[in-house]
Amino acid sequence: MNKSKKTSAASFNPEEHSHRRYNPLRAEWVLVSPHRSTRPWQGQQEDSARPAEVMHDAGCYLCPGNQRVNGERNPVYDGPFVFTNDFAALQEEERIQSRTPHSLLLNQPVRGTSRVICYSPHHSRTLPQMSVDSINQLVDCWSQQLIELSATYQWVQIFENKGSVMGCSNPHPHGQIWAMDQLPTEAQKEEQNLLQYHNQYRSNLLLDYVKTEIELDQRIIEKSNEWVALVPYWAIWPFELLLVPINPARHLDDLSAAQKSDLALILKKITSRYDNLFQCSFPYSMGWHGQPFNKETNHHWQLHAHFYPPLLRSATIKKHMVGFEMLAEPQRDITPEQAAEKLRNCDPIHYLETKI
């Protein structure tokens, strides 16, 4: 009779051994495999060509004064410029729910709007290359759009896809704002887990988490009087960041004057560290999560921004979510602590700016 060999348990070191980490915001796990970070790479490499510095592109439909696809002409704007997307993903008209053919074939109408926000008139100045004053204008614009749209819609998603590798179809620095009358999937996950934590501990999950990270000081990239930027303990993407106010704020319209003032500077610093990491215009998807506008108090919510960048080892090697990630759960090779150290070692002053 064959008996399986008994092996004694070896000591566990999360810096060297495979393990899973729990994300309390999503109630999901991520597999961490730090021993794989030294494996050779012969897969796809992205183009790292540095774009030329261009103030105005006559062929760009986002530049000031230029004509867009629908025939409308942009004003000669000198700050953030917002317009309804010419190919909006959401429609404003109300629709009546139709009868679904089967309980496994559910659908429901959704009402909303999609807007584009040009960050500045400069065609090639991305967020880290903008002045702090210009980023302040952008923060104010985000807040104004939120106030306007939240009067009609339950969820307002402010986000940016930076770089062609993230599907950005126009290099002019811009973001988007999608608003809808229902909570989208990711918002539902955070709503459920933030509320559950609040009910169980009578405390705010993200404020408690930020306090813990500040005490440990292992994954923090930038910290000011009002904000902290860190690689979350449960990060999925190689150099993922979480940006959170240290004091309570449920959304951008809830920020104090001090929080707003600090936000512009910390945004410039963390995105400069990104660009400095591989000496390139660092691609990412980022977006703001805050309370839904459902006429509730929402004390369990805390404003935060997610940064999801795909680059792994260099300006030309991208992390792909395939195989195990698609069929089982997300996986990463370098630990969040290693990623945090690499970003901390980067200068917060952009490599294309003159240091004084």
Task: Examine the residue annotation and report whether 174 is marked as an active-site residue of this protein.
Answer: yes
DSSP character at residue 252 = G
H or E segment and range at residue 185: helix 185-201
**Is residue 148 within 8 Å of 219, Cβ to Cβ?**
no
Q: What residues contact 99, with CB distance under 8 A and at least 6 apart?
A: none
How is 320-334 classified by DSSP, letter by letter?
---THHHHT--EESS
Distance CA 27, CA 197 (A): 11
Distance CA 302, CA 304 (A): 6
What is the token pair recorded at 53? Answer: 């510095």
Burial class (CB in 10 A: 0-12, 13-18, 19+), 195: middle
Residue with tokens 């150290």: 341
**Is residue 204 within 8 Å of 246, Cβ to Cβ?**
no
Q: Which of 123, 174, 300, 306 is catalytic?
A: 174
- Active site residues per annotation: 174
